[in-house]
Structure 1
Amino acid sequence: MAVVQPNSQPPAPRRRDHDHEIESLEEFDRVAASGSLAGHRIQSVDLTDRTFALLSTDTTDSVFLGCVMEPDAAAKVRAGGALVFPPIPGLPFDPYRGGLYGPDELFEGLVDSGYETTPDARAYHWCRQTASDGDIFASMLRSIHDDAVSDALDEHLAGAQVVGVMGGHALERGTAAYAGAARLGRRLTRDGLTVATGGGPGAMEAANLGAYAAPFEDGMLDAALALLSKTPHFTPSVTEWARAAFDVRRDRPGGGASVGIPTWFYGHEPPNAFATHIAKYFVNAVREDGLLARSNAGVVFLPGAAGTVQEIFDNATPNYYGSRGEPRPMVLVDRAHWTEELPAWPLLRALAADRPMAAQIALVDSVDEVPEALARLRAGAAA
């Protein structure tokens, strides 16, 4: 295996174009068969068995990100004008990854050895250690990883109507509020929307669970809620909490798709196993803004605390200034919570007064009212 240093001369800048990204061996074989990889970006593909193809293919202005190659192949592609970033040994994650995470990847080893052995837990511990060390190389790797995840998320969501569902991580399985959030996720998915959450426990897990249950008969969700209620929270044992979710997935494989966007910044909160596509970030600010920016069909805010309040006004700011174009729907759920316990609604309404966003905010009493309110706001935005 070659350890390859980057070329001293970088290739000319290119327009970001997903058609020039190669993220699997199958894609590599298809493009290489044309005789030219010129201008392509090959992300984290094991090319150990593709030496002949690399020796005989034009690699002008191509970029190899974390690809394993034989020494002869590595020398040839560099000489042919490619920029090569070698794999980084010893990391619990791939900074050059070409796709989103899945639950099975992040929780690998959970069943046999427990959560602390999983890639998710190891990445969290690496993040904490390197952040305290102030290592600039580790900081660069975190940034590269997060940019690769953002790229993969954009590819995955291209053309989708995404509705964000925000809510507190403390919401326990077995409660009426958890079941309500799950029903909401199921209804939104059945309405043809892509549910995106912060990817963690509580209300986030419930919404992703509902999306997962969407293709099945209604009784499937009831059975899943009953099973999950036996382990209501990720404390004291993340292992048991996560295993219960995988029991549901094993009993009913092939559930509906949804997106989770968690962060290792809050690594003590594990990701949930019901989001089929997971964009996990090191930098929480990138994660928060990315989740809200991609919720092009609106955002639903379930009861929550500081984090959810922050998300309300993070989302309100571009709606207020129009920095993302026309305002997008915002639906706050639970009148008493948002007007008395944490009175975010009066401030949001005051901000919206006499501005276009005033027609794109709503306050409802229960999750059952959300789909109609969201549809009404979306229809008004399209008018």
Structure 2
Amino acid sequence: MRRSRGRVVDVDTTVELVRRVAAGNTSLAGWRLRGLDLTRHSATLASCHTGGALFLGCRFATGDEARVRGEGALVFPDLPNSPVDDYRTSLYTARELYGTATYRESLDGRAFAWSKRRQSRDSALAKALHDHAIDGALATWVAGRDIVGVMGGHALERGSVEYTDAARLGHLLGTTHIVATGGGPGAMEAANLGARLATGPLSTVEEALTGLAAVPSFRPSIDAWAAATFDVVDAHPEPTETLGVPTWHYGHEPPNVFATAIAKYFGNATREAVLLQVCNRGIVFLTGAGGTVQEIFQDACENYYADDSSVAPMVLVGRDYWTRTLPAWPLLQSLADGRVMEPHVHLVDTLDEAAALFTTP
């Protein structure tokens, strides 16, 4: 059982339910009971007033569900066929998503396959409830943490100069901040890797990069790609915290293993908005394509209308890339002109310049 703010009490086991009721509690108002098998606890429920309680994915004995509803409780059913826990209270770990089977049989693989089936009302509700639960778990996780985002392309292969650079940036930023990414492969994986190993020397990251380069991409085998990352994880059992926020919308891109906490969403629009929102200390944008450009201007929109107390720095890395290859910088600069965001928008050439904007007092 966990208390949260106010009168809300989270109860995740029947043992805790029975213990609390036995201690003299006669009202469940403000309680959230999650995933409980209550079929043998009719007497416990009957001894309490259940109005104001929230039952999430619980099972009842015959007649009990109707009774608690009649007393004013809210009951959300355990939706059939959903492969995920729609009422979970914590973020995912890589081990939970991948398990020990093949990727196709893993929780992540099964959730992606399920999400692509023809949508019914039940599946749409399950996805919405799941993403709402992830919202709550993520809000709890980020509270009190200073988070810097690193955005960049998913297509970077291990062993490339760009992948190595992203890992080095994650290492630099991870010494002073929590690093958050979109949780996928490429630049996102590299930044999570560097941040995960931030308490060690850069040589530790370089050693990991050497091993990972043997499996440069998740194509053709996600299993081989993930196995190489778990080898690194197992070799460094005391990681620095780092966050990934991926989505099953891009389920063909598997989540990277190096994020210690994974907030995975079905809805990509929600995921994009939440990812930018949690980066309360700013975002570094590495070279990328459509997705990265979208994130630049979505973040720019937030800063454009923000007051001075809530503007977060935006740092674009690669002067030639962002002024010539994909000229996002001139438009961003024009948007920032005269706004409170103007001094917080930067274009730099090197990773050290980018990191210095966050690590220099």
Q: Is TM-score (shorter-chain normalized) higher than 0.5?
A: yes
Q: Does 1:186 align with 2:177?
A: no
Range with bigger deviation, 279-288 or 217-226:
217-226
Q: Is the 8 A contact 2:308 2:340 kept in 1?
A: no
Task: Report 1:166-315 matches (<5 A).
Answer: 166-191=151-176, 193-315=177-299
**Could you say what secondary structure the match of 2:183 adopts?**
coil
Given the alignment, which residue of 57, 60, 84 partners 1:66?
Answer: 57
Q: Is the 8 A contact 1:21 1:43 kept in 2?
A: no
Q: Is the 8 A contact 1:18 1:155 kept in 2?
A: no
**Could you say what secondary structure the match of 2:118 adopts?**
helix
Range with bigger deviation, 85-94 or 281-290:
85-94
TM-score scaled by length of structure 1: 0.85
Letter in 1 for 2:31: H
**Could you say what secondary structure the match of 1:129 adopts?**
coil
Unmatched segments (≥5 aa) in structure 2? none
Q: Is the 8 A contact 1:259 1:275 kept in 2?
A: yes
- Between the aligned partners of 2:217 and 2:284, the Cα distance in structure 1 is 23
Q: Is the 8 A contact 1:43 1:98 kept in 2?
A: no
CA distances 1:55-106 after superposition (whole Å, capped 9, x unpaired): 5444321001113455576566445432222212322112222221111111
From the superposition, tell whether residues 198 and 47 of structure 1 become closer, same or farther in structure 2 (CA, over 3 Å): farther
Aligned length: 355
**Could you say what secondary structure the match of 2:199 adopts?**
coil
- Between the aligned partners of 2:16 and 2:275, the Cα distance in structure 1 is 28
Identify the residue that residue 142 of structure 1 maps to in structure 2: 127
Q: Is the 8 A contact 1:64 1:85 kept in 2?
A: yes
Offset of 1:174 from its aligned partner?
Answer: 1.2
Q: Does 1:122 align with 2:110?
A: yes
Letter in 1 for 2:99: E
Range with bigger deviation, 76-85 or 276-285:
76-85
- Between the aligned partners of 1:295 and 1:255, the Cα distance in structure 2 is 20
TM-score scaled by length of structure 2: 0.90
Letter in 1 for 2:165: G
Identify the residue that residue 160 of structure 1 maps to in structure 2: 145
Q: Is the 8 A contact 2:195 2:242 kept in 1?
A: yes
- Between the aligned partners of 2:296 and 2:92, the Cα distance in structure 1 is 27
From the superposition, tell whether residues 334 and 19 of structure 1 become closer, same or farther in structure 2 (CA, over 3 Å): farther
**Could you say what secondary structure the match of 2:75 adopts?**
strand
Range with bigger deviation, 56-65 or 144-153:
56-65
From the superposition, tell whether residues 27 and 299 of structure 1 become closer, same or farther in structure 2 (CA, over 3 Å): farther
Letter in 1 for 2:118: T
From the superposition, tell whether residues 144 and 338 of structure 1 become closer, same or farther in structure 2 (CA, over 3 Å): same
Given the alignment, which residue of 27, 35, 44 partners 2:35?
Answer: 44
**Overall identity of the aligned pairs, in %:** 47
- Between the aligned partners of 2:115 and 2:6, the Cα distance in structure 1 is 29
Q: Is the 8 A contact 1:39 1:59 kept in 2?
A: no
Range with bigger deviation, 322-331 or 309-318:
322-331
Q: Is the 8 A contact 1:318 1:324 kept in 2?
A: no
Offset of 1:120 from its aligned partner?
Answer: 0.8
- Between the aligned partners of 2:16 and 2:175, the Cα distance in structure 1 is 32
Q: Is the 8 A contact 1:78 1:84 kept in 2?
A: yes
**Could you say what secondary structure the match of 1:253 adopts?**
coil
From the superposition, tell whether residues 172 and 63 of structure 1 become closer, same or farther in structure 2 (CA, over 3 Å): same
Range with bigger deviation, 311-320 or 141-150:
141-150
